[in-house]
Amino acid sequence: MPDTSPLAVCVGEGLVSFVPATAAPLEDVRTFHRSLAGAEWNTAIALASAGIRTAVVSRVGDDGFGRFLTAELRRHEVDDSAVDVDAEAPTGLYVKELSPRPDGSVDGTMHYYRSGSAAAALSPATLESPAASVLLAHAALVHTSGITPALSASARAAQDALFDAPRDGRLLSFDVNWRPALWRGRQDEGRAVISDYVRRADIAFCTRPDAESVFGTAEPDRLRELFPEPRYLLATSPDGAVAFDGAERTDSRSLDVPVVESIGAGDAFAAGFLAGVLTGLSLTGSLARAHRIATRALVSTRDHID
């Protein structure tokens, strides 16, 4: 991609996902397919597929899984120069469990093995590395999510550093991505932390179930009343999205496509919308692009588009 195109930098944990070859209880599954996962990494790959120059800032273990993840980024033309390699901590992973639905699609349940992962040691120092510093200095947009501050105190400090840094025209995008298990025993703290990030973001994404869990309402106009600060605020559901650009409101419907499994579609939707914003599309145009890219994540059991 040409160096003159806008640069998007995604900050967060990459994971290796093991997806069952069949929809069945894990104890009955013998074959799994390996794939890249992690909200911000999924978004990075989708942004690159939309023609946006994209990079990831993160950490992986000095192991085969970490090398697989960085190779996948390069295969999708995402810059991995600011992905640090940890000589001691492992790369995080999760196993997806698939359950069949009557309509022929499947539900995915994720079982995480990420405690003590390399990415849990994300810190302000990660952002200050020479490679990350250069990328962040040239970024037109930085994207992160509510998963990162839940990983560890140092990862939350890294997220705080992103939000505290001078923007200098750079957009800051935040996807709520509420994970109750990561906030277990401190869910009220998590809700307060995430609410603060939404208020300080330029672009904020939230699914309606997450909005209900974190903010106590999924009604889009009420969400806008609670969070007037972000220029763009998007409330999404399987049926469509409501998007705000300042006082402007636009409703949009999801495209009618066969759904295999929905995990990762929200990350692809965010990437499509961000690509629209970065290339100067209108609110309606950015939403249309978001829905088109999201459909590509709905037609497989992988978390990212390919």
What integer best gives the mean pLDDT of the chain? 91
In 3D, which of 144, 198, 137 has the Cα closest to residue 167?
Answer: 137
Domains, the chain, ordered by start: 7-14+38-87+119-298 (3.40.1190.20)
Residue 304 confidence (pLDDT): 46
| Residue 175 among the catalytic residues | no
pLDDT at position 299 is 45
Please check whether residue 225 is in contact with residue 217, taking contact to mean a CB–CB distance below 8 angstroms.
Answer: no
pLDDT digits (tens, 9 = 90+) for 164-220: 999 989 999 999 999 998 999 999 999 999 999 999 999 999 999 999 999 999 999
pLDDT above 60: residue 75: yes
Q: Find, among 306, 289, 292, 304, the residue nearest to 255 by Cα.
A: 292
For the entire predicted model, the pTM comes to: 0.90
204: nearest Cα among 156, 245, 154, 249: 245
pLDDT confidence of 14, banded at 50, 70, 90? very high
Question: What's the whole-number mean pLDDT along residues 10-20?
Answer: 95
Confidence of residue 255 (pLDDT cuts 50, 70, 90): low
CA–CA distances in Å: residue 72 to residues 45, 275, 288: 9, 21, 27
- The answer, yes or no, to whether residue 291 has pLDDT greater than 50, is yes
Once rounded to an integer, what is the mean pLDDT over residues 20-46?
93
pLDDT at 301: 43
Q: Which of 196, 267, 303, 306 is catalytic?
A: 267
Neighbouring C-alpha atoms within 13 Å toward the C-beta of 146: 29
d(CA 17, CA 224) in angstroms, rounded, equals: 35
With a cut of 90, say whether residue 262 has pLDDT above it. Answer: no
Alpha-carbon gap, residue 131 to 133, rounded angstroms: 5
Q: Mean of the pLDDT values across residues 128-154? A: 97
Rounded to an integer, the average pLDDT of 71-80 is: 97
